[in-house]
């Protein structure tokens, strides 16, 4: 493997959220700089072969360590092994970050309302963005809608509350909307496209999608991304291209 392409980092901590979900932190080389919302390419050796996957960075660009939030795919070449990670283990980190799911991509419309819509581990880039003061200064309203299947999979809730307390004091008005699709008693339990079509998401957020004022970011399951994109287009919103437009997306597979 190319030593020029990767640095070898050390796992510092591991947190298990559910049988199929965990987070971990690792050392960050001082030369590894990124913008909130970007992803890293990380790798592990499996039977002598380096397997590398894209991972959105959870930590903020100002943190000294790197944090990631991972699914476990039982048959997955990478995560079936990564799930056994423990402090002290080593991980390859590609030296450059990637990706354009960043707030810098928006020039028009001007920042006003920011909608961050995630399924599962697609929450990761949004936690990074929310730990950047600039995000809170730029926008008047921030809505974070986070869709999971079960209550157990609803990770990072304490962190989200902490972030709101720290960053929200003098910044944007923040609304956190957890969605639990398999819980009939959850306040919101339909999939994101349906919640947009029905108007329930806007009602809960007390905010309307608006072509003149909304930036909407979608991250996670490709089917959610596709269907949500269509639901938003029906509301008049357009894809963000070359700085102009409302909707920006990242598919995880
Ligand atoms: C830009 C980008 C950023 C990503 N960021 C993350 C991240 O922050 N956290 C993360 O866990 N994964 C992330 N992924 C997915 C990640 O790269 C791997 O696909 C994932 O780790 C599974 O790897 P695997 O080899 O075990 O299975 P793969 O062979 O890569 O995937 C097998 C199948 O597992 C399912 N799957 C893959 N990823 C996920 C997921 N995240 N949630 C639910 N089902 C999934 C899909 O059905 C996929 O076809 C990202 C992908 C991209 C393209």
Strand order in the sheet with 21-27: 49-56, 39-46, 90-94, 6-18, 21-27, 65-71
Q: 78 in ligand 1 pocket by Cβ < 6 Å? A: yes
In the block, tokens 């089917």 appear at 223
Q: 79 in ligand 1 pocket by Cβ < 6 Å? A: yes
Percent of the chain scoring above 70 in pLDDT: 99
- Sequence ranges of the domains in the chain: 6-94, 103-251
How many whole angstroms separate alpha carbon 117 and alpha carbon 187? Answer: 17
Q: Give the tokens for residue 60.
A: 């903020």
Is 2.40.30.10 the CATH number for 6-94?
Answer: yes
Q: 168 in ligand 1 pocket by Cβ < 6 Å? A: no
Q: 120 in ligand 1 pocket by Cβ < 6 Å? A: yes
List the residue whose alpha carbon is closest to atom 53 of ligand 1: 252
Task: Report pLDDT digits (tens) over 11-20.
Answer: 999 999 999 9
Which pLDDT band, with edges at 50, 70 and 90, does 170 fall under? confident
- Would you say the CATH fold of 103-251 matches that of 6-94? no
Task: Report pLDDT digits (tens) over 22-57.
Answer: 999 999 999 999 999 999 999 999 999 999 999 999
In sequence order, which residues have a C-beta less than 8 Å from that of residue 39 and are 6 or more positions away? 54, 55, 56, 57, 97, 98, 99, 125, 250
Q: How many CA atoms lie within 13 A of 92 on its CB side?
A: 19
Read off the pLDDT of each residue in 94-118 and give the average, rounded to a whole number: 98
In this predicted structure, which of 95-99, 116-120, 166-170, 218-222 has the lowest mean pLDDT? 166-170
CATH architecture of the region 103-251: 3-Layer(aba) Sandwich (3.40)
Q: How far is the CA of 111 from the centre of ligand 1 (A)?
A: 30
Which pLDDT band, with edges at 50, 70 and 90, does 71 fall under? very high
Q: 115 in ligand 1 pocket by Cβ < 6 Å? A: no
For a substitution probing ligand 1, which of 55, 82, 126, 153 has the most ligand atoms within 8 Å of its CB? Answer: 55
Q: How far is the CA of 205 from the centre of ligand 1 (A)?
A: 29
Q: Give the tokens for residue 68.
A: 């990631």
Q: 125 in ligand 1 pocket by Cβ < 6 Å? A: no
Q: 103 in ligand 1 pocket by Cβ < 6 Å? A: no
Q: 22 in ligand 1 pocket by Cβ < 6 Å? A: no
Task: Report pLDDT digits (tens) over 136-159.
Answer: 999 999 999 999 999 999 999 999
Query: Do 126 and 219 contact (CB within 8 A), yes or no?
Result: yes
pLDDT at 2: 59
Q: How far is the CA of 213 from the centre of ligand 1 (A)?
A: 32
Q: How far is the CA of 207 from the centre of ligand 1 (A)?
A: 32
Query: Do 47 and 118 contact (CB within 8 A), yes or no?
Result: no
């Amino acid at each position: 493997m190319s030593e020029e392409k990767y640095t070898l980092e050390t796992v510092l901590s591991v947190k298990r959220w559910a049988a199929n979900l965990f987070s971990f932190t690792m050392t960050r080389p001082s030369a590894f700089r990124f913008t909130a919302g970007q992803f890293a390419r990380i790798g592990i050796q499996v039977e002598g072969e380096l397997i590398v996957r894209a991972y959105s960075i959870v930590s903020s660009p100002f943190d000294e360590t790197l944090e990631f939030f991972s699914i476990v795919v039982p048959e997955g070449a990478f995560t079936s092994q990564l799930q056994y990670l423990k402090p002290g283990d080593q991980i390859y980190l590609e030296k450059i970050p990637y990706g354009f799911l960043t707030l810098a991509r928006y020039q028009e419309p001007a920042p006003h309302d920011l909608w961050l819509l995630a399924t599962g581990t697609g929450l990761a880039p949004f936690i990074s963005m929310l730990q950047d003061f600039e995000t809170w200064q730029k926008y008047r309203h921030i809505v974070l809608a986070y869709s999971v299947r079960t209550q157990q999979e609803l990770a990072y809730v304490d962190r989200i509350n902490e972030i709101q307390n720290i960053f929200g004091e003098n910044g944007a008005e923040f609304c956190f909307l957890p969605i639990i699709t398999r819980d009939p008693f959850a306040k919101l339990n339909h999939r994101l496209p349906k919640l947009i079509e029905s108007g329930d998401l806007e009602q809960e957020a007390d905010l309307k999608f608006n072509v003149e004022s909304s930036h909407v970011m979608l991250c996670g399951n490709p089917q959610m991304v596709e269907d949500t994109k269509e639901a938003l287009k029906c509301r008049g919103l357009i894809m963000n291209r070359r700085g102009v437009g409302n909707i920006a997306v990242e598919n995880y597979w």
